[in-house]
Amino acid sequence: MDMRYTPEQADLKRRAADYARLLMRHEDQSEQAGGPLPQQLVTELTRAAMDAGVYAINMPAEWGGAGLSLLDQVIVEEEFGKVTNCLWDIPWRPANVLAYGDERQREKYLLPVIRAEKFDAFAVTEPGAGSDPSSGTSTASRADGGWLLNGEKWFVTCGDIADFLLVQADAGPDRLPTLFFVDKAAPGVEMTRVPHFMHSAVNGHPEFTFTDVFVADEDVLGGVGNGYELTKEWFTDERLMIAARTTGAAERALELARDWAVEREQFGAPIASYQLVQGMLADCAVDIAVNRAYTHQVAWEADQPGTDRKTLHAKASTAKLAASEAAGRVADRCLQIFGGRGYDRTYPVERMYRELRVDRIWEGTSEIQRLIIANELIKRGTRVLALPTH
């Protein structure tokens, strides 16, 4: 396996890094606003992402996306992760499972998302079903020509700006897990609350209730009963992207802390000359290097034909678990190196410290990742650690 970037990947990384620096110019503005940015500015930044080829990176080029492999997507998302305030939501990444829609669904839902005319959001979590999405109580009952959807969903990332939702609910008397396209403006859909979290994100994570919401048969994604498998596939990709973004965030935090340690003097010498600070810098470098290598490896494996999807699911969990926890350690050390200034919200390292905390929770908690990994070990042995042989 040749881990060197191709010339095309090097150019992709450069374009992603340039775009990330453009987003960084608006971090303070987003923080002061508590998250949102003016719509005109978001539109300009969206157009810039399209021009840079870093919009809808997970969708085929023939549909208008960037057509990137998973490894290429990891390269991009690592650069995006260096930006605070979740501004990496602006270069939109449609839910990967939208690609499984039929031609009518693709024309109605996916293509407008790729063109930045609409936005999607994935609604899985419920008040009583977080780490275990199979325990959800949202239901879809048969109606003439479709279904009546009832239930409640929490923490719907970007649900505040979404035009439609992908809602997981149990369909029919057999309670078959199914994904439904739901127009956010449909009768019976109510956005009840937008929680205020630790971090200031450009988009929100609202709560929704669904009361006898009619969904036509043609708006079932992937067939009745396939919702859980599609959700798992979405999780696999999202966990890899979290691993990439948290690694990128950790690298930016280390760059800032390193520069600060070299310049900041105490007791007549730069604090970088003191071994306790040197130890923190070294530990950060190790956390970043190891997790970058493993995340790249798993993304590369995912791009190879014939990769076992169940083992890949566990490897993505491994990457997400390791990288998100390592990034938390890195941010903590870097904040400590900055001292009191590290606790100031005008410093990026403070925002990273707050923002990285959620990466150990969303798209499956660290504890759930450990259960997934352990389950794969118990069922199939240490192949979860193996490299492909073809």
Instruction: Indicate the number of domains in the chain.
Output: 3
Residues 200 and 249 in one domain: no
Whether the pLDDT of residue 356 is over 70: the answer is yes
Cα distance between the two ends of the chain: 11
Token digits of residue 233:
């596939």
Residues 146 and 271 in one domain: no
Whether the pLDDT of residue 243 is over 90: the answer is yes
What is the structure's pLDDT at 383? Answer: 84
Q: Which residue has the tokens 């596939």?
A: 233
Residues 169 and 193 in one domain: yes
Determine the structural domain holding residue 125 and report its residue range: 120-224
pLDDT tens-digit map of 102-139: 999 999 999 999 999 999 999 999 999 877 777 889 99
What is the structure's pLDDT at 42? Answer: 98
350-379 burial, b if ≥16 CB within 10 A, otherwise e? bbbbebbbbbbebbbebebbeebbeebeee
Q: What is the DSSP string of 157-191?
A: TTTTT-SEEEEEEEETTTTEEEEEEEETTSTTEEE
Cβ-based neighbours of 34, under 8 Å, separated by 6 or more = 196, 200
The pLDDT-based confidence of 390 (bands split at 50, 70, 90) is: low
The pLDDT-based confidence of 306 (bands split at 50, 70, 90) is: confident
Is residue 89 in a domain? Answer: yes
User: Could you give the residue ranges of the DSSP H alpha helices within the chain?
Assistant: 7-24, 27-33, 39-52, 70-80, 103-105, 111-114, 227-263, 275-303, 309-338, 348-355, 366-380
pLDDT tens-digit map of 73-87: 999 999 999 999 999
Residue 189 carries which side chain, given as an amino acid letter? V
Residues 203 and 236 in one domain: no
Last residue of a domain, one of 44, 76, 93: 93
Residues 56 and 132 in one domain: no
Cβ-contact 85, 351 below 8 angstroms = yes
Whether the pLDDT of residue 386 is over 90: the answer is no
Is residue 29 in a domain? Answer: yes
d(CA 311, CA 309): 6
What is the structure's pLDDT at 333? Answer: 98
| Mean pLDDT score, 266-286 | 98
| Mean pLDDT score, 350-378 | 96
Whether the pLDDT of residue 319 is over 80: the answer is yes
CA-closest candidate to residue 78, choices 13, 153, 159, 151: 13
What is the structure's pLDDT at 344? Answer: 96
Say which CATH number the domain at 375 has. 1.20.140.10
Say which CATH number the domain at 195 has. 2.40.110.10
Is residue 149 in a domain? Answer: yes
Cβ-based neighbours of 273, under 8 Å, separated by 6 or more = none
| Mean pLDDT score, 216-220 | 98
Residues 251 and 378 in one domain: yes
Average pLDDT of every residue of the chain: 96
Last residue of a domain, one of 224, 239, 260: 224
Residues 175 and 234 in one domain: no
| Mean pLDDT score, 54-58 | 98
pLDDT tens-digit map of 150-205: 999 999 999 999 999 999 999 999 999 999 999 999 999 999 999 999 999 999 99
pLDDT tens-digit map of 255-274: 999 999 999 999 999 999 99
Say which CATH number the domain at 50 has. 1.10.540.10
Residues 380 and 232 in one domain: yes
What is the structure's pLDDT at 204? Answer: 96
| Other CB atoms within 10 Å distance of the CB of residue 311 | 18
